[in-house]
Structure 1
């Protein structure tokens, strides 16, 4: 299985497309729907679902377009059930004003940790709140990758000054759910370059001494 990082939208949020034999999972399509659709068509892969690590506006901008184009469904944690429809909660009202972003409700609400299987893809759903109340990370063991959203970055961690953010909760999430993964696990971050668990354990200044 392979995945591609495609920065999209106003904040160049990393969208990831995990694909295998023509089938794909799209993680966090933050914007730039025509660009994403063009890539999918060029690679001759068809999405089977959209996974959202959380519902901030810069992660959801292309959700409705991709969902409608490919007739697929969206997975989101239940703690952010109404954020797709609410510009105040998803942050677009504050950051984008008249250009606020909304999307239709998710078809599937993640209620707990556990296995999530879609087509030929299987993920471990890890609850990693702190950046936002419903932040989750999707661990894909087959490719040794965790799609961490805005929880953990290369040399940094997610901001916690937005609605429902909690700094101590985020540190606990990272320590208990992400740093316990195999050290060679690739961390597919929501912004910036990818990293791995070992590198962040050894060098991330926000995690030192925690």
Structure 2
């Protein structure tokens, strides 16, 4: 039986974007580790002493060696996750996924709605470089956007809200992403449903200036769903959050900032113009 081919889209390429946080690791909690790859975060969930963990997201293109090195630094030589969970399939969250799957031979999970983009069936709507925002928004036309094909290596998350290998977490559909929440200590892994840096501004991406902000404007196609996602997450009153972009945040800064974003979403997050703005 021939070996199943898994592949990136033809527009897959290294993106020379970085920030002052690139290469920085933070132990947010004893079992929650955040590492920044250029401009995006990956997250290792699990205690190092138990050697059982899950990787959240797969970074930027051409960064598999960095992710493997961070993983082995945290969990030891030749360690591998029990699974990789993708918050969504945009290029900066799946950039090293194929190399990681081949290296570790582990299953990948994503929300059912993301499956067409991860199995070569459909491509995301085009990003909007015309949207109100800074230089990163203008650059978005050059980002990889063709679907990758993970074939049978990717599976939908269980429909009952449970998370494979993470029994204390549940997943929450925040359309365009999936977020993970742990009720006992109100820990949130939010993908890009909201972020803690203004992602369309090149200056703020470079400097990683802290700002609880809405999802990246150039990738958001349904602003009503985005607003409801933020309100849904704010209602959880999380104590700690890791987002796809920007530094981890906790305590009052998180709750107050997220509550304000939920209340004033249209003023803070929604652009004044863009092809997906109604």
Question: Higher relative contact order at CA 8 Å, sep ≥6: structure 1 or structure 2?
Answer: 2
* Change beyond 3 A, Cα 1:90–1:30: farther
Q: Secondary structure at the match of 2:169?
A: strand
Aligned counterpart for 2:172 among listed residues 126, 146, 149: 126
1:109 aligns to 2:156 (yes or no): yes
Distance 1:121 1:110, change over 3 A: closer
Kindly tell me: are residues 197 and 208 of structure 1, through their superposed partners in 2, closer, same or farther at Cα, counting changes over 3 Å? Answer: farther
Q: What's the CA shift for 1:112? A: 3.7
Question: Cα distance 1:71–1:109, how it changes in 2: closer, same or farther (>3 A)?
Answer: same
- Larger CA Rg, structure 1 vs 2: 2
Deviations 1:32-86 (A, max 9, x none): 1101111222231420000111111110011111122111100111112121236
Report the more deviating stretch, 41-50 or 78-87.
78-87
Deviation at 1:200, TM superposition (A): 4.1
What residue number does 2:206 align with?
A: none
TM-superposed CA distance for 1:181, in Å, is 1.8
Structure 2 partner of 1:47: 81
- Structure 1 residues 81 and 117: alpha-carbon distance in aligned structure 2, compared to 1, 3 A threshold: closer
2:117 pairs, out of 83, 92, 95, with 83
- The one of 64, 88, 91 equivalent to 1:33 is 64
Q: 1:94 to 1:100 in 2, by over 3 A?
A: farther
The separation in 1 between residues aligned to 2:222 and 2:251, in whole angstroms, is 22
Instruction: Flag structure 2 segments of 5+ consecutive residues without an equivalent.
Output: 1-29, 128-139, 197-211, 266-278
TM-score normalised by the chain length of structure 2 = 0.62
Question: Tell me, which stretches of 5 or more residues in structure 1 are unaligned?
Answer: none
Partners of 2:82 and 2:174 in 1: CA distance: 24
| Corresponding position of 1:203 | 257
